[in-house]
Chain A
Amino acid sequence: MGTTDLLISQADRRPMYLQIIEQVRRRIAVGDWPSGYELPSIRALAAGLQVSVITVKRAYLELERDGVIVTRQGRGSCVADSAGLSAGLRHAELDQHLGSAAAVGRSLGLTAEELVARLRDLVAGKDEEQR
């Protein structure tokens, strides 16, 4: 399994780093890259894909922020274990939902503050339900 597993398309107008993130997630979701699998080093991946180092760095940073991968100082990055993975995936899912909510809110003409207040109410309501 090498860097050539990832396919970056020049024709795709989405930013390069997003394509990399998506490809990494797909590999993980499909099972090609199991937990603990060592990702290629940032420079090796950059050379393999012929994209700049800074782009790969950004992709890895976001993947780490989302808990999909874990970076150890001086030892590169590897796929997070299942617990971290699920958390990461669920975080991504949350972002998606929130994004949709924001879009609906905008079309309704709500401001950010109104949207947040709405969310707060809903959270409070859910908490009440759970008690």
Chain B
Amino acid sequence: MIALLQAMNWLPGADASTAAGRRAAGLRHWVSRLGLLLAAAVFIALWAYPLLGFLLSAWVPHLLQGDLRPTLAPLRHAVQGYELHALFNSLWVALTVGTLALPFGLWLAWLRERTDLHGRGWIEAGVWLLLIFPDFFLASGWMLLAAPIGPLAAWPAALHAAQWLLGPVGIVITLALKVVPYVFLVAQGSLRHTSAAQQEAARVHGLSRLWRLRLGLNALLPALAAGFAIAYAESLRNFAVVATLGASSGFTMGTYAIYQAVNGMPLNFPLAAATSWLLLGLVIPALILQHRVGQRASQHQTLGAKHRPAARVRLRASHQLLHGVLLIALGLFALALPTFAALGVAWPKAGWMQIAASLPPLLAAIGYSLQLALVAASLTVGIALPIAWLIARPGRVGRLLDVALLAMMALPLIVLAAAYLQAYNQPYAPLYGGSLLLGMAYVALAVPATSRVLMGPVAQLHRSLADAARVHGLSRWQTLRHIHLPLLSGALFYGWLLAVLSIAFELPASELLYPAGHPPLAVALLQYAGGFQLHQQARLQVLGMAVLLAFALLARWVYQRFTPVAWRQLGAH
């Protein structure tokens, strides 16, 4: 860590020409060695040991017990029967979800960026809301909608139709809604950064409408391919939706097969590891495709200094109305319906006393999740910042870290959770069953995404900013205090808040690693759903959303209240 801080110019150097300077340099050398050792220990404990131990157990089942005899039996087991069926389901669901999400995401991005639709700014707000809305809340909402005591109980035909949501159809719809924001964001970026000049050149040089459409689609192709790849990979990695909607209907997928292998009796870690390899085999090609397409797209950026955005299409009144109605319908279906379903079940005919009596276990689950999230998110930012810093700098270390980070983001979270369960349930590492292990897992899960969030702002901090501060007489501490901190404060705060929310809503690691008697929010929700305690499930969903939303608003208020105005303006960039 010390070495990293020195790399970031935050720790002092020393004048080596004097004896005191030489002593200080020697001390600095040992401190940096110690820092490097600490960083290596963190890396090994959080990622290398559990993941390697787990994934290698597909070939060496008793590796962590010291038995190095290899076997292909787990892999053979994984490519037949239940696991193969689950992986096949994962594949077709992911392909269907990608295909469904693509036109929706493109439509939303086109409306937002290329039309004069009234209130188009709300599209972005809705997309971000959908992005942060936890997937199992969405799935839980569908479950409650289709429940016999749900809001559709008075309409038997509608209730009967809603049963379709409790299986593959519901899974596909929920996943498609969850991945539409990714397609939207990629397509939006492409539409926003494509100069109007290419289409104008096509018109001036006489190309027909069909040819111009072909050119436009070609320009969008990298974004469409990337959007599809992300949607496909996210669907394959998802655990929460299949654990809620799939478990109740007997429909299984790859991530759930891994979960069952390490959660049932007998525990079968080698089988789970083999299934993980096969799942990774499905995920990784999509991410490589996305990476390649991204590289190709960046090569296609041949624009000069002047960028003329494309003119917006003027929608006729009838088209404005049509698109507006479709957007409202989509918003109602995606966000309002599951929320109102939960609200309807949470407060049906129960009196306030009955509701108040049911609150303590709900508040305990939310409180436990929030406490752990606060600690884990703070540690996450502490680790993610130097990683982002190293990646932003040219060099082999940065490139290696970048690749490692991408690989971590490709990893289904259930794989990391299963790896922790195996690695820290050993006689020499008996951490299983405690909050420490769950906190470690949260940090390990959140660091890759948080590093990515911080990478942009950190990369924008040109080294010369700090150099200029030093040359003009600011000490290292003053440089940190007056230059780096103000410029990064916004990114650090929002990175931290995003980490808190994602950890508080996390399911896979929570499900496998939570301490007995202390179920976090997501686990409690699943337990209520499994036990058909639908009122409690609905109340927890509503209360969880309310508490975390209030927390996010409070945190934002505190940040805005106690930081200088200039910090917030700079940090917003």
On whether the two chains bind one another, the answer is no
Task: Point out residues on A near B: beta carbons under 8 Å.
Answer: none
Task: Point out residues on B near A: beta carbons under 8 Å.
Answer: none
